[in-house]
Chain A
Amino acid sequence: MATEATKKAAQSAAKEATRAAFGETLVELCKEGLDVVAVDADLAGSTTLAKLASYDPDRLVDVGIAEQNMVGVAAGLSVTGHIAFTGSFAVFGTGRCYDQIRNTVADANLNVKICPTHAGITVGEDGATHQMLEDISLMRGLPNMRVLVPADFHATKACLKLAAKEWGPVYVRMGRYPVAPVYDSSVVAEFEGANVLREDAAAGGAAAGDGATKSLTIFACGVEVSEALQAADILAEKGIEATVVDVYCIKPINKKVIVEQAKKTGRVLTVEEHSIYGGLGSAVAEVLSENSPTPVKMLGMTTFGTSAPGGVVLHHFGLDAEGIARAAEEFCA
């Protein structure tokens, strides 16, 4: 068995940003014969969509710095039978063109995949204007739109493939922060998907939430899945058993898994690098309040972000493993 140190070293060596999967996956989909065309807004290098242009220049349309037109053009491409992906950064690729996404793409249920990168506070140095914290809530509110927030490189590939192969609008949230692998290349994604990655073996034995059993369920998405798994290690050393669930499909959400896993521990902590208003925490709380009322603590953002390296920003806002463990410990106290 590998020591903690070697495990950490292996993980660290293999860290990759979810955005790194974008261009590569679209090239694979083209090679599979799917009629994929992507539209980006002067960020093809950053989103990695430049890889698609290297494969076939006709497959990437760069509209320049014009996100509203990016979404409109993608809508038109989808009408003509192409599977259209949009790029840009999450802050521009959802906020600047929200009306186009709402009134043209979602209402008409077009086959357009809204797939920006650079979401959340882990954007880091660029600071608050570039750290999108409301995209999940914006996209989740739209009829017809499905919302996927993959945890790592391989999960992102799986989510992009799912988006390409299912009809209709899908939002895939990607980031620039290198994240330790959670999955291997065999991972597949599905709508209403949620993966229980770490289960509290003792949970369910004693009456949930009775105080005798120190356990809780952590629902996380995106980069926070990896942080939550590390937090669970820290918590285990302190005698707190954490179940960790990757809720990568925020809409449609898997109610069954959320209710089941919440019932087991009687305490729910949600973690996201996104506003707690309308994001994963809200989605989980909606399910639980209607189906199985459970105390919920939401970790996420309530302010704008700030400049610093991504990991430092995560730490600053208490959204790294240490911060999650601290919040969980207080919650269980």
Chain B
Amino acid sequence: MANEKEWRAAKKTDGQTALLANHIRHDIIRMLAQSKSGHPGGSLSASDIVASLFTSGTMNFDAENPSWEDRDHFLLSKGHAAPVLYALYHQLGWISDADLMTLRQLDSKLQGHPDSHALPGIDVCAGSLGQGLSVAAGEALGFLLDAKASGEEPTHVFVLLGDGEMQEGSNWEALMFAAHQNLTNLTAILDLNNLQIDGFVTEVNSLGDIDAKIKAFGWNVLHVNGHDVAEIKDALVKGRSLTDAPTMIICDTIKGKGVSFMENQAKWHGSAPNEEQANEAIAELDQQKVDIEKEYGVTEADVPFATMRK
């Protein structure tokens, strides 16, 4: 930072991102408590990542038009974390609070896993693991072909992967392909929370030295704390600027982050909190909000997209 003014501005921006992530976590707990079904663990672990992506200034999107043709594309490969996407959509005003309360119910736009027919800005139906990276690679290639024809900068594609789904062989097909095709307009983000349904990833079927493996496949690798929004945003900016290979940002995260009794517990992968548990979780998130406001010098009025919310 060149001076104190810049430092304060950056800090305030990070505070805004952290506030957005806190709002997203509130929404996740509220909607799951209502639906009594869904996946809190992997949604909470990815909240800071998603909030950072949409406030980093790296990704082109139009908050007023989720289907904007020239937008950069975002795919949620770990489709079971749909609540984090729906919470983001709520914060952006793309769905209403009433919509949130319909999660997983008949006729809801909020299907158990993201449905491309139900909501704008969702390119493909996700949920069967190990497919998002191939689709993102295909999109990146398609945009490169378009850019070659038009002479313009290619649209960028971001895809959020889970560490459990890295056990799917199809991801390694896609990793090899993306590097071979030099898809520099592709950024993958890995939510490394080290938990899957049957236990710790390192115990079920370890990914081993994941950084070395991804690098060996010909990718740029950036490794950050997945709950430090400043680190995540810096990595997103840097990743996009690298033009020699696709980039993977590996984020160390805690499954269930923000709700103490859910943190690092495999059992909270796919079970919803009851009313009492939800109240306890909300109380914790409320306290975290106070802490964020204090730490970063921000207030509720600083929450990004607050005026868009329905």
Contact = CB atoms under 8 A, between A and B. Distances in A.
A64 B176 CA distance: 10
Interface stretch (B59-67, B120-128, B265-273): B120-128
Interface string A106-129: 011110000000000000000000
A66 B141 CA distance: 17
A72 B131 contact: yes
B140 interface: yes
A72 B128 contact: no
A42 to B, nearest CB: 12
A74 B134 CA distance: 9
A77 B117 contact: no
A84 B145 CA distance: 13
A69 B124 contact: no
A69 to B, nearest CB: 4
Interface stretch (A46-54, A96-104, A176-184): A96-104
B173 interface: yes
Contact of B123 (A73, A79, A107): A79
Contact of B139 (A37, A79, A102): A79
Interface in A56-103: 58, 61, 63-64, 66, 68-69, 71-82, 84, 99-100, 102-103
Interface of B: 73, 115-117, 123-125, 127-128, 130-131, 133-143, 145-146, 148, 155, 169-170, 173-174, 176-177, 181
Nearest to A97: B170
Contact of A75 (B130, B135, B143): B135
25 contacts: A37-B142, A58-B148, A69-B174, A72-B131, A72-B174, A73-B134, A73-B135, A73-B137, A73-B177, A74-B138, A75-B138, A76-B135, A78-B138, A79-B123, A79-B124, A79-B142, A80-B139, A82-B145, A84-B138, A102-B128, A103-B127, A104-B124, A107-B115, A107-B116, A108-B116
Given A103-B131, A109-B117, A72 B142 contact: no
Contacts of A63: 173, 177
B265 to A, nearest CB: 28
B141 A73 contact: yes
Contacts of A104: 124-125, 128, 131, 135
A269 to B, nearest CB: 39
Describe B's contact surface by its main secondary structure.
helix
B275 to A, nearest CB: 34
A75 B115 CA distance: 15
B173 A61 contact: no
Contacts of B133: 72
Contacts of B134: 68-69, 71-73, 75-76, 100
- Please list the 5 inter-chain residue pairs (A to B) with the smallest Cβ-Cβ separation, ordered nearest first: A76-B138, A72-B134, A80-B142, A73-B138, A69-B173
Given A69-B173, A76-B140, A58 B135 contact: no
A125 to B, nearest CB: 28
Given A72-B134, A75-B134, A103-B128, A66 B123 contact: no
A70 B237 CA distance: 30
Max chain B Cβ within 10 angstroms of own Cβ: one of A58, A63, A80: A80
Contacts of A78: 138
Nearest to A61: B141
Contacts of B145: 37, 58, 80, 82
